[in-house]
């Protein structure tokens, strides 16, 4: 069993050897990092559609439920009810009809993001769109219509506006710096991983140390490999056996 294990050795992982491998191939890693980083930069700059986000918020008042709001679980359930109303089909259809913007209920629902600060009755509505004006109009109208629906459906005293929808002057996505950094990081990790896999998959014996490590045998001597006369002459070197050949002639 011992001889068989020596004849079929497993590839040993040497950390210092892997570091040397990556260092000697640092140029490959640098190129892969730069190429994917640049690709991610151009993709995020010219391919991905720029989005703008408009945000508005409203406060739901209910005197009949003032005591029950002491119960955190019930408060969370009530806020979920409010959120369901905000994204309901009737609210979104009404908002689309009033604004006159050509879109579908499904598309608008994907653009809306709702949030609620813990232990508060404030609902924040964010709408994302390639046009900052459209994002503002949709956010404002969704808040207006949903406030009306909440008053009609639930027993609340009032739904007051905390913040009107803003007109965004800066894009919310994509983040070009984040895309570029992510692409460069993927290029670095991918190139390093491929180099390590190719190194571990290569089981050829390259040195006397490999013979001792993988076969468990000690080397008695090593034979240097010399270049042929033709190769040496092509590189401008003096052939090793040039004098002997000349003497023979």
Domain limits, the chain: 12-48+174-202, 52-163, 208-249
The CATH number fitting domain 52-163, selected from 3.40.50, 3.30.70, 1.10.3710, 2.40.30: 3.30.70
Q: Please say whether the dihedral angle defined by the alpha carbons of residues 201, 205, 206 and 207, taken in this order, is positive or negative.
A: positive
Residue in the block written with tokens 């089909």: 89
Percent of the chain with pLDDT over 70: 71
Each residue of 162-202: pLDDT tens digit? 999 999 999 999 999 999 999 999 999 999 999 999 988 87
Each residue of 100-128: pLDDT tens digit? 999 999 999 999 999 987 777 889 999 99
Interatomic CA distance for residues 178 and 44, integer angstroms: 9
Tell me the Cα Rg of the chain.
35
Please give the distance of CA 51 from its chain centroid, rounded to a whole number: 18
């Amino acid at each position: 069993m011992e001889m068989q294990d020596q004849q079929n050795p497993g590839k040993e992982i040497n950390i210092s050897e892997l570091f040397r491998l990556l260092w000697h191939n640092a140029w490959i890693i640098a190129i892969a990092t730069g190429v994917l980083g640049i690709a991610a930069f151009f993709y995020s700059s010219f391919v991905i559609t720029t989005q703008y986000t408009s945000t508005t918020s409203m406060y739901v008042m209910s005197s009949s439920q003032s005591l029950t709001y002491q119960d955190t679980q019930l408060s969370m359930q009530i806020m979920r009810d409010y959120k369901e109303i905000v994204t309901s089909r009737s609210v979104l259809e009404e908002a689309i009809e009033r604004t006159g913007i050509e879109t579908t209920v499904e598309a608008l629902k994907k653009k809306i993001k709702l949030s609620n600060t813990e232990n508060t009755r404030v609902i924040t509505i964010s709408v994302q769109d390639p046009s900052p004006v459209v994002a503002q109009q949709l956010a404002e109208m969704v808040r207006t219509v949903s406030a009306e629906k909440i008053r009609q459906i639930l027993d609340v005293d009032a739904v007051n506006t905390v913040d009107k929808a803003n007109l965004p002057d800066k894009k919310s996505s994509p983040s070009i710096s984040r895309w570029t950094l992510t692409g460069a990081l993927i290029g670095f990790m991918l190139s390093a991983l491929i180099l390590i896999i190719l190194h571990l998959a290569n089981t050829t014996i390259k040195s006397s140390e490999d013979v001792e490590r993988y076969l468990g045998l000690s080397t008695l001597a090593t034979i240097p490999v010399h270049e042929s006369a033709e190769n040496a002459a092509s590189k401008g070197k003096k052939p090793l056996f040039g004098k002997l050949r000349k003497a023979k002639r």
